[in-house]
Structure 1
Amino acid sequence: MNLLRLFEAVYRLGSVSHAAEALGLSQPAASQGLTRLRLALHDALFVRAAGRMRPTLRAERLAAVVLPALGAIHEVLREDDRFDPPNSRMTLRLHLSDIGEARLLPELMEALHHKAPGMRVQTHPLQHHEIADALETGAIHFALGFLPSVTGIERMELLNDSYAVVVRAGHPLLTTAENAKATTERLRKLQYVAVRSHAETIRILKQLGLEDRLVLSSAHFLALPAIIARTDLAVVMPRAIALGFMDPNRYAVLPEPLPRSSFNVSLHWSRRFEKDPAHRWLRDLFKTLFAIPHINADLQGLGQQSSRDS
């Protein structure tokens, strides 16, 4: 690399002494370096003519390749540690479940629309055992969710939530406040639907001994609200989703949380990309949008509104 830098300087300046000065070398050291390069390439490379060093045909061909390559290397080395969101054309790739998309994408897309309008977003729901490798290889940039089985990667906790039981407004269980309490005895009076992609909901039903009350196991969340509105079935789902996205005139969230149902939603990434400017900017954006104090305040307000509506 040092010899190629010397070659570039002599080619550009037409003088070994000027090249030595530009590179901080002594003239003998520059002359010795040029001799080594001549011997390695079996060509004079430069000959003196009209008071300056003129490149040979071999040197011209070499310069056509070496100069752009050195310029690209210098640009990379001189890159400052900044990311320009307004002019970015990056495609952001995320692991999100369908419920995670419903909860997180609206705020994320709104923020990107204002801060990085040229950025594109793709979601890639993966099996949990695939996530760590996808993050390490760069197939996805981040994974968001409750992912306790994903290990060996960096993680930042974003928000706390808990699972709740959602039924239709006017459900017989809601006739009195006492009946609405989420005790196991009262929960056994319900039949349930669950989403297989959100395995924690099925785990909770099993943990409470309610798996025999599961009458529908769906691949996706999308159909569940319509099913709940038309039947006396119940669904176990994250409270933030229920309070934020379900019409209180059509649905009701049982006021008491389910036992042992709290969980954390975290942002996961590979330490390989820890220093990348775009990666750092996006991590800060996720933290700003979904940090725990911000989310908890929102949930408290939604919970109070739900209580007033019911």
Structure 2
Amino acid sequence: MKKTMTRFPDVGELRAILAVMKLGSLTKAATHLGTTQSTLSYLLERLRLRMGDPLFVRVGNRMEPTPYAERLAESAEHILAFMEAEFDRIEQFDPSTTAREFHVVLTEIGAVTMLPAIVKQLAQLAPCASLVPSYPRAVDLEQALSDKTVDLVIGNHRELAGDHLFRQLLFRRSYVCIASREHPAIGERLSLAEFAAAPQVRNFVAPQAFRWMQAHMQQQNLEMNVQMVLEHATAVPFLVGASNMIALVSGELYELFGAVANIKIVALPVELPEGQICQYWHPAMNRDPAVTFLRGMVHRLFSSPDRQSIFS
């Protein structure tokens, strides 16, 4: 077995055999292959020694193949044609027929406001494919992308902002302060001092606006009065509507639950920063046709001003 593997020509040697046979000249063959004549001569000499055959002999101005080289060339054509066909198959991706199982990580807000549009579009473009969403806290995001157990991570993840992963901005998420419409003490706006004094509820995964507001208030020697931390972001509007607590939530969450949760937007004396919602993927998957398809689909859905969501 070892002897067979040692004698087996590599791809470069197979191409060299075919080029010399076709062109009948080392000089022309070298030019065709994009190499030098000396390099090609060395490659053929190395192959001659391994095969125990001269391969080519000079007849007049042409290099003529030996019977062994002719048989080798015939095999080379089949081998190279098979390899090219296999590479084409690997690189090709047909969404309409693929049965690929895509794995995507989204936050709870992303699952409510983005996942329905993703599922709908995937069903239209890739009806045989399936989607497996998961929650960020359930996996080590960077490790999952590296292990290729997750294709995309969607959200605002500052811990993934390094050079070791690829990132693409989808849209900017706005944030608002909400309170119950029936709050006995809070009207249409709050001062910073009133905001600090009001009891607050927040999601376990603190939004970017909350972290920014916390830092801003500390500069004013004020502290936020967080009385409750919830595991589920979608429960926050309902708890606010049923209590005297306030909260900072995404504009999408307010739009979705504002009416049914009995909440209102309360103006603040400062403008809350927007959060960057991105999709993240591993560099090793950058040219994978299936992940490229998924990435492009998500980007088209959410990167335009009239992006789709559960509201569209």
TM-score by length of 2: 0.66
Gaps of 5+ in 1: 9-18, 27-31, 40-52, 54-62, 303-310
Gaps of 5+ in 2: 1-6, 25-44, 53-67, 69-74
- Aligned CA distance change for structure 1 residues 71 and 168 (closer, same or farther; 3 Å): farther
- What is the letter of the counterpart of residue 140 of structure 2? E
Q: Corresponding residue for 2:240?
A: 228
State how far apart, in whole Å, the 2-side matches of 1:218 and 1:255 are.
21
1:246-285 equivalences in 2 (<5 Å): 246-254=257-265, 256=267, 259-285=271-297
Q: Aligned with 2:110: secondary structure?
A: helix
Contact 2:201 2:226 in 1 (8 A): yes
State how far apart, in whole Å, the 1-side matches of 2:172 and 2:309 are.
12
- Aligned CA distance change for structure 1 residues 36 and 272 (closer, same or farther; 3 Å): same
State how far apart, in whole Å, the 1-side matches of 2:159 and 2:133 are.
20
CA deviations on 1:197-256 (whole Å, 9 max, x unpaired) are 33546525633357552111122224334423322222221112221x204253334153
- What is the letter of the counterpart of residue 115 of structure 2? L
The reply on whether 1:238 has 2:269 as its aligned counterpart is no
Contact 2:104 2:134 in 1 (8 A): yes
Alignment equivalent of 2:182, drawn from 157, 164, 170: 170
Alignment equivalent of 2:149, drawn from 132, 139, 144: 139
Contact 1:169 1:249 in 2 (8 A): no
Higher helix content, 1 or 2: 1
Q: Percent identity?
A: 16
Tell me the number of residue pairs that the alignment of Structure 1 and Structure 2 aligns: 263
Q: Which runs of 4+ in 1 moved over 6 A?
A: 32-39, 68-72
- Aligned CA distance change for structure 1 residues 115 and 255 (closer, same or farther; 3 Å): farther
Alignment equivalent of 2:189, drawn from 170, 173, 181: 181
Q: Aligned with 1:79: secondary structure?
A: helix
State how far apart, in whole Å, the 2-side matches of 1:194 and 1:165 are.
11
State how far apart, in whole Å, the 2-side matches of 1:298 and 1:120 are.
19
Pairwise CA distance, 1:144: 0.9
Q: Corresponding residue for 2:34?
A: none
Q: Corresponding residue for 1:114?
A: 124
1:1-310 equivalences in 2 (<5 Å): 3=9, 24=22, 73-79=83-89, 81-126=91-136, 130-150=140-160, 151-152=162-163, 153-173=165-185, 179-198=187-206, 200=208, 203-204=211-212, 206-207=214-215, 208=217, 213-243=225-255, 245-254=256-265, 256=267, 259-295=271-307
Pairwise CA distance, 1:69: 9.0
Contact 2:209 2:272 in 1 (8 A): no
Pairwise CA distance, 1:275: 1.8
Cα-Cα RMSD:
4.4
Pairwise CA distance, 1:193: 1.3
- Aligned CA distance change for structure 1 residues 255 and 24 (closer, same or farther; 3 Å): farther
Q: Corresponding residue for 1:44?
A: none
State how far apart, in whole Å, the 1-side matches of 2:79 and 2:205 are.
49
Contact 1:160 1:292 in 2 (8 A): no
Contact 2:180 2:244 in 1 (8 A): yes
Contact 1:167 1:235 in 2 (8 A): yes
